[in-house]
Chains A and B, each alone.
Chain A
Amino acid sequence: MSTGKRYAMTVDTRRCVGCSACVLACMAENDVPEGYCRDWIVSEIHGEFPNLTQEIRSERCMHCSNPPCVEVCPTGASFVHDGGVVLVDPHKCTGCKACIASCPYDARYVHPDGHVDKCTFCIHRVERGDNPACVSVCPTKALTFGDLNDPTSEVSKLLRTREYKVLQPEAGTEPNVFFLK
């Protein structure tokens, strides 16, 4: 049954300090195997010394509206769940890695158990009314999660009032993780 929601996340690059609390919270919440991560921190330094700027981003699967991973999956193991969340059904996954090669964000990896694994937007938490683990622990409130189809949601308001960007727009994947500038 469709709820008509479109889940999205905003990452405020002015608030993120790169503390990695989101990364650790995800590992604990989702039993991420040791040596792997479903979300990560990227820090970019721009400019010319001494006029340098730094942008820190908490990154993860972008839960694209036009997800190439779902398109190339030969078994239907990669699929779009209610709310636009891109998930992997480990029982259908053959570990062929086509989805990994198709992802412009390199957001997926092969779980040691053989199936492909990635961020789920903590759909198990979201469906019981909680925020994803990364969002709930962020000490600077850089991460916001919500429904883009609800104009009163926090993410909708942020995208109306703040400048934002998506990563690799040239890949045409229509990501649902937005970086506030």
Chain B
Amino acid sequence: MNPHDVVEVISNRANPGIDPHLHVWGWEIPGYLFLGGVVAGLLVLLAALELTRKRRPTSGAAQWMPLVAIVLLSLGMGLLFLDLANKEHVYRFYTTFQPTSPMSWGSWILLLVYPALVLLFLSGLDEQRRDALVAWKPVARLRLARLLRWAMAFGDRHRRGVVWLSLLAGVGLGAYTGLLLGTMAARPTWNSGVMGPLFLTSGISTGAAVMLLTRLDPDETAALVRWDIMAIAVELVLLTMLLLGLSSGGTNAQAAASGFLGGAYTASFWSLVVMAGLVVPLILNVLEVKRHTRMTLFAPALVLIGGLALRAIFVAAGQAHVVGVLH
């Protein structure tokens, strides 16, 4: 039977969330993937700043950044929790490790990220800020001063290890958010090895954007703008590879590609992700470096919108196409 001569396919299945096409993941998962990506980016960038400058963060904003990451990650994990249909079983993620499941890897990576961020934060503070934190009233009331001092000293002793752990945890977190989707053979839009690197690179770019929205030292800003240019360029190459892979693939992949090339996601993908999220901020960043124009908040804001749009569009588009011509 030739699948191309199908006149009509009728199914009497109408399961909620499944039919007429999959829509089990709504806004919570893209929101989590975005926040997880930002945190991954912050981890990678903070580690990279320290390894290249060979000194701990100098600006106040860079010193507080790991705390911002902890807040964003907790928000993201809150979204993950909201998405669970069986919330009282959430502890089940941590009673087992399933090596074939990206989500299981992710849950354990998230647990690695927290101590990395806490140590990166506490031992990254300068003396003045350490004293202020320890003297802060809630810290005194909860009798946390000694614990904080111990953690700061521990972080100081193992600072290099903490920085490398942060880099590793950041790469793991960023890549897993893409691999989670990329390993699903049932969904041609997602099923690509490019998804891991793509989401990691996008995470680095959005992490840089969050940092560039704050008041950093000039040399920190200069490094971040330079790295953001590289991240955006790599992201454009990876997106091109993904689209080329889909449109030159089999019938399933081509059907998935058509979603971005004339189909339902064409307008949002090209305007929000490609133009607003990548091309325009890339031009602005390059102008800033070449012409020494003053840095504005415009480029980072666009990068954040693009990063969120990338995840929202991919989560939706992936669910719209299932493998198999007749389904």
Contacts and interface: CB of A to CB of B under 8 A. Distances in A.
B324 interface: yes
Contacts of B327: 105-106, 168
Contacts of B187: 101
Interface residues of A, number: 56
A36 B186 contact: no
A90 B242 CA distance: 37
A135 interface: no
B256 to A, nearest CB: 13
Majority DSSP secondary structure for residues of B touching A = loop
A97 B24 contact: yes
Interface string B174-199: 00000010011111000000000000
A46 B86 contact: no
Contacts of A164: none
Contact of B17 (A53, A94, A109): A109
Interface string A87-107: 000111111111011111110
A114 B22 CA distance: 17
B184 A46 contact: no
B52 interface: no
Contacts of A47: 5, 7
B324 A101 contact: no
Interface string B1-39: 110011111111111111100101100000000000000
Nearest to B95: A75
Given A101-B24, A104-B323, A95 B186 contact: no
A114 B98 CA distance: 21
Interface in A28-81: 35-37, 40-49, 52-53, 55, 59, 68, 71-77
10 contacts: A23-B12, A37-B13, A40-B13, A55-B1, A71-B100, A92-B89, A96-B84, A106-B19, A110-B16, A114-B86
Interface of A: 20, 23, 35-37, 40-49, 52-53, 55, 59, 68, 71-77, 90-98, 100-106, 108-110, 113-116, 167-168, 170-173
Interface of B: 1-2, 5-19, 22, 24-25, 83-90, 92-93, 95-96, 98, 100-104, 106-107, 180, 183-187, 250, 252, 318-319, 322-324, 326-327
Enumerate the 9 nearest inter-chain pairs by beta-carbon distance, A residue then B residue, closest first: A95-B85, A114-B86, A40-B13, A95-B86, A74-B103, A104-B186, A74-B104, A168-B324, A75-B92
